[in-house]
């Protein structure tokens, strides 16, 4: 994925600067540019943005609520994977821990996908780092609470959506001690003959392989979802 550099618009920003910001918004939120067949649906929104009638956050909210975004990232994935994707696109980081994941799973299940997206874009964290006129970008923190947090941030910022499947977010397969490269999840500390395999593109099922309490809790959560 192309890395996003901080881009801040002002009232004095030229149309060329706004076009460049628009390109970066699509790279950050869609991980690509619009196809020709999709441009008509966003023509008015782009026009308002280029004229300065709306800012980056408003544009992102309209884009994220669109059928294009939801068809690409929501309907084809599990809820935890979608939440991780939203954090990557709009906050420039991965989910920190299970508590944060559970909180946003509850938001999604109780209030729906539109409210979930709005709650992220209207959050204090988003306002603090990006405000209304900065294109979100990967926030490369100088320190992390855990090695897994660093690993998760690094992984999700350097992979295309779906590269490691559409079901299991990095938060879970790292905590489970699994490697999901190539679309198949393997326990990396098992002997080759004992490695159970789980497709990350299929509905999650609790493994019969014995694990510690954390792993059992995570698999129960995935099974419930």
pLDDT band at 96 (very low <50, low <70, confident <90, very high): confident
Residue 7 lies in a domain: yes
Residue 71 lies in a domain: yes
Mean pLDDT of 94-101: 90
pLDDT band at 202 (very low <50, low <70, confident <90, very high): very low
In angstroms, the CA 98 to CA 114 distance is 22
Q: Is the pLDDT of residue 7 over 60?
A: yes
The rounded mean pLDDT for the chain is 79
Sign of CA dihedral 74, 77, 79, 84: negative
When divided into structural domains, the chain yields a total of 1
Residue 187 lies in a domain: no
Alpha-helical runs (H) found in the chain: 15-30, 43-50, 56-64, 67-73, 79-86, 98-111, 113-121, 124-129, 147-157, 170-175, 213-224
The predicted structure's pLDDT at residue 222: 56
Mean pLDDT of 6-23: 93
The SS3 assignment for 135 reads strand
Mean pLDDT of 199-204: 45
Q: Is the pLDDT of residue 78 over 70?
A: yes
Residue 112 lies in a domain: yes
Residue 14 lies in a domain: yes
The predicted structure's pLDDT at residue 188: 61
Which range has the worst mean pLDDT, 20-24, 47-51, 146-150? Answer: 146-150
pLDDT digits (tens, 9 = 90+) for 104-158: 999 999 999 999 999 999 999 999 999 999 999 988 655 545 555 556 666 666 6
pLDDT band at 6 (very low <50, low <70, confident <90, very high): confident
In angstroms, the CA 124 to CA 73 distance is 24
Sign of CA dihedral 78, 157, 133, 44: negative
The predicted structure's pLDDT at residue 169: 76
The predicted structure's pLDDT at residue 1: 43
Residue 176 lies in a domain: no
Chain centroid offset of residue 5 CA: 17
pLDDT digits (tens, 9 = 90+) for 156-196: 666 666 666 667 677 766 666 666 665 566 666 554 444 44
Q: Is the pLDDT of residue 206 over 70?
A: no
Residue 177 lies in a domain: no
**In this structure, which long-range contacts are made by residues 106-111, counting pairs with CB atoms below 8 Å and at least 24 apart in sequence?**
108/79, 108/82, 108/83, 109/79
The count of C-alpha atoms lying within 13 angstroms of the C-alpha of 162, restricted to the half-sphere facing its C-beta, is: 8
Would you state the structure tokens that stand for residue 88, as one six-digit string?
Answer: 């990557």
pLDDT above 70: percentage of residues in the chain: 61
Residue ranges making up the domain that contains 60:
1-160
Residue 175 lies in a domain: no
CATH number of the domain that residue 64 is part of: 1.10.3130.20
């Amino acid at each position: 994925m192309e890395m996003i550099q901080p881009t801040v618009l002002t009232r004095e920003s030229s149309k060329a600067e706004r076009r460049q910001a628009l390109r970066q918004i699509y790279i950050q939120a869609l991980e690509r540019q619009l196809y020709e067949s999709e441009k008509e649906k966003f023509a008015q929104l782009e026009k308002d943005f280029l004229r300065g009638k709306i800012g980056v956050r408003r544009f992102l909210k309209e884009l994220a609520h669109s059928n294009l975004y939801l068809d690409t990232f929501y309907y084809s994935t599990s809820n935890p994977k979608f939440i991780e994707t939203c954090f990557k696109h709009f906050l420039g980081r991965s989910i920190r821990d299970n508590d944060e994941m559970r909180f946003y799973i509850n938001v999604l299940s109780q209030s729906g996908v539109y409210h979930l997206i709005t709650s992220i874009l209207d959050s204090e964290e988003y306002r603090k780092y990006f405000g209304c006129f900065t294109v979100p970008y990967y926030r490369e923190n100088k320190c992390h609470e855990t090695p897994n947090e660093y690993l998760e941030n690094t992984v999700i910022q350097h992979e295309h959506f779906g590269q490691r499947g559409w079901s299991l977010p990095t938060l879970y397969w790292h905590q489970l001690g699994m490697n999901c490269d190539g679309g198949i999840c393997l326990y990396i500390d098992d002997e080759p003959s004992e490695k159970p395999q789980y497709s990350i593109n299929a509905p999650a099922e609790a493994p019969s392989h014995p694990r510690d309490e954390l792993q059992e809790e995570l698999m129960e959560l995935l099974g419930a979802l």
